[in-house]
Structure 1
Amino acid sequence: MIRVIWKWAIPLFAGLLMSFGLLQEQQTVIYLIGDSTCAEKEVNAYPETGWGMPFVHFFDESIKVDNRAKNGRSTKSFMDEGRWEAVLKMLNSGDYVFIQFGHNDEVPSKVGRYTTPEEFQANLRGYVIDTRKKGALPVLLTPVSRRSFENGELVDTHEHYAQLVREVAQSNDVPLIDMTTLSMELVRNLGETESKWLYHHLDAGEHPNYPQGKSDDTHFNELGARKMAQLVLDGIRELNLELKNHIVAGTR
C-alpha cells in the first residue's frame, strides 16, 4: 500500500514543484525604488506606513511587487549605496521599475542626498536608460504631497522638483504618474483638519511606539498609505499600462 501511495506521490510532488517554478518564471516584477514615503517599515515604526506596503497586495499572482524603497534615500544615495545595482542584477525584460524620488533630493541641508536640479534630472534619466537597456519599463512618479497648509491653503512643497520629474518624463517618453498633483487634490479636498487622518499623527500615550506622541506631515499611517497606493493604481489605469489587467477585482 505504501509503495502504491509513494508511486503516485513522487510525480505529484514533482508536478507541484514544476508548477511553482513555472509561476515564478512567468511572474512580472514591479520594482519600487524611492524614499520613506514608499518604503516598508520596521515594526517599531508602526503605524507609519509607506504606500508600497499595501500596494503589494493589489495584484493577481502573475505580478510580484518588490519594494526596494528605503527611508531617507535620494536619486543619488540610492545609487551610491549600490541599491540600484542590486535591482539591475535582478531586472528582467518585461518587468517594471516605478521610480519616485524628490523628498530628499530637494533639501540642500541633506548632505550626501541633496541633488541640484541638473543632477536630479540626470539621475532620473540614468534610471530610465538603465531600465530600458534591460528590456523593462520605467514609470516615473512625482513625490507625494506633504500636509503643509498656510492660511488654510495647501502648499506645494515639491513644486520645483515635481516639475523636473515631469520634464524628464516628457522629454524621454516615459509614463508618468503625477502623484504630487493627485495627492494634493486628495489632501486639499479633505481640508486641513480631516487630512490629518492620512498622516502620521498620534497623541501622547496613543501608541507604545510613540509614548510622547507624533506629529508628522510627511509620512503616512495605514489609511494614508492605502489611499496613496490607490492613487498609483488610478495612474496605472489612466496610462493604460498592461498591468491594469492584473489589478485584483474590487480594488479601486
Structure 2
Amino acid sequence: MKNTRWPVLLSVLALGLSVLPVSAAERAVVTIHLAGDSTMAEKLPEKRPETGWGEFLAVQFQPGTVAVDNRARNGRSTRTFIEEGRWQALLDVTQPGDVVLIQFGHNDQSVEKRDRYTPPADYARNLERFVSDVRGKQATPVLLTPVARRRFDDAGRLLDSHGEYPDLVRALAARGQVALIDMQKRSEAVVQEAGVEASRSLFLWVAPGHANYPNGVEDNTHFSPKGAACIASEFAMALRGSGLPLARRLKADVEAVDCR
C-alpha cells in the first residue's frame, strides 16, 4: 500500500517553518516604528516649515531596506500616547523583527501642562511597559533620550531642560539591557557647537509674513528642516556604532549635514 503519511508530514513541517519569526537581519525590508512627540513627528501642511527629525530617517538607509512608520505626534507624552490608544495601535501592526524607536520626555516633564504631564515614576513605568510590549511582539525596542531645546545662559552655554527624565531613560536601558541612543547628548553637542546665533537656523524661527506664521515665530523646541536633517544624521551616526543589526542597513556614505 502506498504510504500517504510522508507528503502530509512534509506539508505540516513546511507550514510550521513558514510561520517561524524572521529576524530583522534576514528580512528584505524592516519596518521602523516611531513612538514619540513633536520633535520626531511628521507635520501637517499648516505647521510647515516645522519639521520632525523622523521625516529624515528613511533617507539615512539604503533604498528598499527599511519602511518608516512614523506614529509620533505633537504634544504627546508617554501617558497620553497610551490613553489615546496610539501605543496599542502601534503594537497591533508590529511584526517579529521590526524595530520600535521610543522617544518621549518633552511633554512628560511639562508640569505646567496638566493635559500631558507625566510624573517621573509614571514615565519610567510607561517606558518599561513599552519595552516589555515590544519584546512580547518579538521586535526590538530602542530607547531614545529626548532631544535638546535651544536654551542658553548669558555665557553661551546650553542649558538642560529635561531634568531627571533623560536619566530615567538611561537607567532603564542599563537595567533592562535595552538598546539606547542618547539623543539628548548628541543634540546638545550639535546646538552648542552651532552657538547662540547660528543655532536659530536649526529651530522654527520664522520672520513675520509667512503664510503659516503671519506674525512670525521664535520656537526653540521644534526643528526647521535643516535642524531635523541634522538630528536624523546624528541618530544615524549613533546607530552605526550601536551594534544593532539595523545599522547594517544604513547607507555607507551619508551626505554630511552642515549644522552650523
State the TM bucket, normalised to the shorter chain: 0.7 to 0.9
- Please report how far the alpha carbon of residue 247 of structure 1 lies from its aligned counterpart in structure 2 after TM superposition: 1.5
Partner of 1:228: 231
- Please report how far the alpha carbon of residue 202 of structure 1 lies from its aligned counterpart in structure 2 after TM superposition: 1.0
Show CA shifts across 1:189-231 (max 9, x none).
11111111100001112x2211111100000000000000011
Partner of 2:174: 170
Show CA shifts across 1:46-93 (max 9, x none).
100000011122222121111000000000000100001111111111
Specify the code of the residue in structure 2 equivalent to 1:76. Answer: R
> Equivalent of 1:182, from 158, 183, 186?
186
The answer on 1:135 being equivalent to 2:138 is yes
What are the within-5 Å matches in structure 2 for residues 108-123 of structure 1?
108-123=111-126
Partner of 1:56: 58
- Please report how far the alpha carbon of residue 128 of structure 1 lies from its aligned counterpart in structure 2 after TM superposition: 0.1
> Equivalent of 1:157, from 157, 161, 164?
161
Partner of 1:240: 243
For residue 205 of structure 2, give the secondary structure of its aligned residue in structure 1: strand
Partner of 1:28: 30
Show CA shifts across 1:27-50 (max 9, x none).
211000000000000111110000
Mark the runs of 5 or more structure 2 residues left unpaired by the alignment: 1-26, 256-260
Instruction: Name the CA distance, whole Å, in 1 between partners of 2:252 and 2:241.
Output: 17
Q: Does the CA-based 8 Å contact 2:39-2:147 persist in structure 1?
A: yes
* TM superposition outliers: structure 1 runs of 4+ over 3 Å: none
Specify the code of the residue in structure 1 equivalent to 2:85. Answer: G
Partner of 1:43: 45
More helix by share: 1
- Please report how far the alpha carbon of residue 107 of structure 1 lies from its aligned counterpart in structure 2 after TM superposition: 1.1
- Please report how far the alpha carbon of residue 242 of structure 1 lies from its aligned counterpart in structure 2 after TM superposition: 1.3
Specify the code of the residue in structure 1 equivalent to 2:233. Answer: Q
Partner of 1:3: none
Specify the code of the residue in structure 1 equivalent to 2:149. Answer: R
Instruction: Name the CA distance, whole Å, in 1 between partners of 2:77 and 2:163.
Output: 17
The answer on 1:199 being equivalent to 2:200 is no
Partner of 1:10: none
For residue 243 of structure 1, give the secondary structure of its aligned residue in structure 2: helix
Identical amino acids, percent of aligned pairs: 44
Give the TM-score, by structure 2 length. Answer: 0.85
Partner of 1:69: 72
Give the TM-score, by structure 1 length. Answer: 0.87
- Please report how far the alpha carbon of residue 156 of structure 1 lies from its aligned counterpart in structure 2 after TM superposition: 0.8
Q: Does the CA-based 8 Å contact 2:37-2:76 persist in structure 1?
A: yes
Partner of 1:21: none
The CA RMSD measured in Å over matched residues stands at: 1.2
What are the within-5 Å matches in structure 2 for residues 201-216 of structure 1?
201-205=205-209, 207-216=210-219
Specify the code of the residue in structure 1 equivalent to 2:68. Answer: V
Q: Against the structure 1 CA distance between its residues 159 and 108, is the aligned structure 2 distance closer, same or farther, given a 3 Å change threshold?
A: closer
Paired residues, number: 227
For residue 204 of structure 2, give the secondary structure of its aligned residue in structure 1: strand
Mark the runs of 5 or more structure 1 residues left unpaired by the alignment: 1-24
Q: Does the CA-based 8 Å contact 1:158-1:180 persist in structure 2?
A: no
Instruction: Name the CA distance, whole Å, in 1 between partners of 2:248 and 2:180.
Output: 18
